Amino acid sequence: MRILAIAPMPTHPAVQGNRQRAFDLCRSFQRRGAQITFLYWAAEGLDGNAADLMRAAWDDVVILPPDGFRERRSFGPFYGIDDWYDERIGGKIAELCATRHFDLCLVNYVWLSAAFAHLPPDCLRVIDTHDLFGGRADHFYVRNAAPDWYYTSVPEEARGLDRADIVLAIQREEAVLLRQRTSTEVTTIGFLSRPIPTLRRAAAVPGRVTVGYIGSANPFNVASVLEFCAALRTVDLPRTVDFVAAGPICHVLRTLNDQPFTLLGIVDEIDHFYEQIDISINPMVGGTGLKIKTIEALAHGVAVIGTPDAFAGIASPVPAHQCADSAAIVAHLAAFLAAPETVADLRDASRSVYRAYLREQRDAFDDLYDRVERHLAAQPA
């Protein structure tokens, strides 16, 4: 099976959730024997080391710089479905299709769906949505913030979704809404990652608990972390707790005079971050999509405390996974610090939640792969 994956972000380094998502989905196909051609429309740039890592990961990597491209705005309050689409992507697809045949095209984000027009009819068209973009601006407005990045209307998003043969939702709640917006088949595939590794606690200090946060500097992360810092100032936690933060969020935290985190910056290996912490927090309030940082923390086998928004799309009966807000996260944290032996119980509960989630997602991917194979078997030789 030959797959053309198209994305506006690289897969390396995986410093953002969308990069990790693209990597995991392509790798899952690759493990089943698929050959991956990764077409990166280089909107986020790419240094030589990252390019080398991508070329080592995939069978072929095509990098298309967005030289001279300017985003359009077809509508006053929102972008049109093709306003962020660079027509040169279509030209590059035509070049590739002239020398090879693709069985499946996997487009990351609905606003690149115009790429499908340049494929032969027998190529299966799949959109990995990552997020809901129709009405996305409303999530910013309710927090008195200006919309960030790409957003469109529900009818415009539906127009893009209708171009696909299969639409991938990243969580069940979004799949319900996507089915209301398109007649295209919608299936849910969440985070596809490895089993829980055996992490060695690095430089552990007896009697101390390290709490960690890792994330990008998107507006929802920033607002949520600032709320957490404010909630933390209202309580006196034991001095046996240390806070560390990693990822682009450190650029924001570095500007604050009163914040509790030791800033690690962007880490080369995410395992190294999780080896340093006992508890991972995600005080996310708002936002859409699947919160990859929550899944990554669960996947690394650490104890996790978060809000319902942080656990959207992840079924969990654990009270510490359903904290109403940052104040509730701090309250749970204080309780665990008062009885450090209970951190192990939370870690075990978090691991159980992840194992159940991972089984569900792997079954969903197997169903998708079987669907693709049936499509290919039905094609003329």
- b or e along 80-90 (b: 16 or more beta carbons within 10 Å of the residue's beta carbon)? bbbbbbbeebb
33: left (phi over 0), alpha (psi -120 to 50) or beta: left
* Whether the predicted pLDDT of 243 surpasses 60: yes
For position 115, what pLDDT does the model report?
A: 98
For the chain, give the mean pLDDT. Answer: 91
For position 142, what pLDDT does the model report?
A: 63
For position 203, what pLDDT does the model report?
A: 54
CA dihedral 166, 167, 168, 174 (to 10 degrees): -150
3-state secondary structure labels for all residues of 77-124: CCCCCCCCCCCHHHHHHHHHHCCCCCCEEEEECHHHHHHHHHCCCCCE
For position 105, what pLDDT does the model report?
A: 98
- CA distances to 14, 51, 289 from 300, in Å: 15, 26, 21
Would you say domain 209-356 falls under CATH 3.40.50.2300?
A: no
For position 205, what pLDDT does the model report?
A: 63
Domains of the chain by residue range: 2-189, 209-356
Using one digit for the tens of pLDDT, what is the confidence trace for 94-144?
999 999 999 999 999 999 999 999 999 999 999 999 999 998 877 776 666
CB 54 within 8 Å of CB 12? yes
CA–chain centroid gap for 353, Å, is 18
Using one digit for the tens of pLDDT, what is the confidence trace for 2-41?
999 999 999 998 777 789 899 999 999 999 999 999 999 9
206: left (phi over 0), alpha (psi -120 to 50) or beta: beta
Question: Per mean pLDDT, which range of 76-80, 139-143, 214-218, 294-298 is the poorest?
Answer: 139-143
pLDDT top residue among 163 and 222: 163
For position 370, what pLDDT does the model report?
A: 93
Q: Is 211 exposed, middle or buried (0-12, 13-18, 19+ CB in 10 A)?
A: buried
Task: Write down the CATH number for the domain with range 2-189.
Answer: 3.40.50.2000
User: Residue 85 and residue 147: Cα distance in Å, rounded?
Assistant: 19
For position 198, what pLDDT does the model report?
A: 67
Using one digit for the tens of pLDDT, what is the confidence trace for 193-226?
777 776 666 655 667 899 999 988 888 899 999 9
Within 8 A by CB and 6+ apart from 67, the residues are none
Matching fold, domains 2-189 and 209-356: yes
For position 1, what pLDDT does the model report?
A: 93
Does residue 141 sit in helix, strand or coil? helix
For position 199, what pLDDT does the model report?
A: 67
CB 132 within 8 Å of CB 289? yes
